[in-house]
């Protein structure tokens, strides 16, 4: 079966750095997305990785290792508005998105 | 660019009535649209995938006669929840994908359905 694993919940302090991990086992791989979702709102796109390595975009970076079936989202200089759920999703061989359950990130002052 | 709208943003209805939700891609042609349902504190659950001009493909466990999907044009898909019941109350989100290779799905803002 297809499986995406990420922690259910994480807590971090404002101004700090947090890393949210995602591991996957899917039938084929055509890229991995990270989305941010605030409560009661639809997901918004953060990043897309299809090749190994680190992609940096402002305070957010995303890393992928295809051989390990592993990705992480790194958030720097955390702000209170970063409190949200972060969803990892993998594009499988049929170009369908397989979603993780999401990681709820709580930022404390 | 790549804006997807949904209407209505929220709806309250009586049990037994039908509700139609529209999903529109405003500035691109969406060859494929996806309908998701999300219950509180849970992840997105794909309900169905629809390609313009063809019948939708439903995920296992989703009743196609209850959740009617129409994708008549490259910019519009509709989801009709027929004979809605309180257990259908949820957050319904559509997304649209263009014809490019990027695979990104652009999400609508969602529709919160409450069935009394």
What pLDDT, in 10s, does the model give residues B19-65? 999 999 998 888 889 999 988 877 788 999 998 888 899 999 999 99
With CB atoms and an 8 Å threshold, state whether B104 touches A33.
Answer: yes
Contact status of B89 with chain A (Cβ, < 8 Å): no
Per residue, the 3-state secondary structure of chain A, as one string, reads: CCEEECCCEEEEECCCCEEEEEEEECCCCCCEEEEEECCCCCCEEEEEECCCEEEEECCEEEEEECCCCEEEEEECCCCHHHCEEEEEEEECCCCCEEECCCEEEEEEC
With CB atoms and an 8 Å threshold, state whether A42 touches B103.
Answer: no
For chain A, what is the mean pLDDT? 93
Q: Chain A closest CA to B42's CA: distance in Å?
A: 7
3-state SS class at B52:
coil
Restricting to A residues 1-60, those with a Cβ less than 8 Å away from any Cβ of B are 30-31, 33, 40-45, 48
Nearest to B105 by CA among A25, A3, A17, A96: A96
**B28: number of CA atoms within 13 Å, CB side?**
18
Indicate the residue of A33, A41, A100 with minimum beta-carbon distance to B43: A100
Residue A84 dihedral angles phi and psi, to the nearest 5°: -175, 180
With CB atoms and an 8 Å threshold, state whether B102 touches A96.
Answer: no
Element of type H or E holding B34 = strand B32-38
Contact status of B51 with chain A (Cβ, < 8 Å): no
Determine the Cα–Cα distance for residues B14 and B86; give it in Å rounded to an integer.
Answer: 9
Rounded average pLDDT over A68-86: 97
Residue of A nearest to B110 (CA): A42
- The structure tokens listed for B60 are 């296992």
Nearest to B81 by CA among B70, B73, B72: B70
Tell whether the model's pLDDT for residue A42 goes beyond 90: no
Determine the Cα–Cα distance for residues A13 and B98; give it in Å rounded to an integer.
Answer: 38
Quick one: pLDDT band at residue B111, thresholds 50, 70, 90? very high
Q: Chain A closest CA to B109's CA: distance in Å?
A: 5
Determine the Cα–Cα distance for residues B33 and B56; give it in Å rounded to an integer.
Answer: 9
Summarize pLDDT for B56-101 with one digit per residue, the tens.
999 999 999 999 999 888 899 999 999 999 999 999 999 998 766 5
Contacts of residue A72, defined as CB under 8 A and 6 or more positions apart, other chains included, come to A19, A20, A21, A22, A62, A63
Residue pairs spanning A and B at CB distance below 8 A: 39
Contact status of A101 with chain B (Cβ, < 8 Å): yes
Residue B101 dihedral angles phi and psi, to the nearest 5°: -90, -5
């Amino acid at each position: 079966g297809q499986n995406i694993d990420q922690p259910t919940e994480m807590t971090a302090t404002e101004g700090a750095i947090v890393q949210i991990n995602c591991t996957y086992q899917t039938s084929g791989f055509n890229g991995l997305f990270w989305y941010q979702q605030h409560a009661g709102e639809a997901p918004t796109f953060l990043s897309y990785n299809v090749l190994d390595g680190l992609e940096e975009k402002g305070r957010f970076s995303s890393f992928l290792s295809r051989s390990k079936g592993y990705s992480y989202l790194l958030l720097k200089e955390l702000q209170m508005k970063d409190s949200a759920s972060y969803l990892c999703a993998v594009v499988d061989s049929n170009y369908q998105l397989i979603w993780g359950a999401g990681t709820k990130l709580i930022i404390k002052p | 660019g790549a804006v997807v709208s949904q209407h209505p943003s929220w709806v309250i209805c009586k049990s037994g009535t039908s509700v139609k939700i529209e999903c529109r891609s405003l500035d691109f042609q969406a060859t494929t649209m996806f309908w998701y349902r999300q219950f509180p504190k849970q992840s997105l659950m794909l309900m169905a995938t629809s390609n313009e001009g063809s019948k939708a493909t439903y995920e296992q466990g989703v009743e196609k006669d209850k959740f009617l999907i129409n994708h008549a044009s490259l910019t519009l898909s509709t989801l009709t929840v027929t004979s809605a019941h309180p257990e259908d109350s949820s957050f319904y989100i559509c997304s649209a994908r263009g014809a490019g290779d990027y695979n990104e799905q652009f999400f609508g803002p969602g529709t919160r359905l409450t069935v009394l």
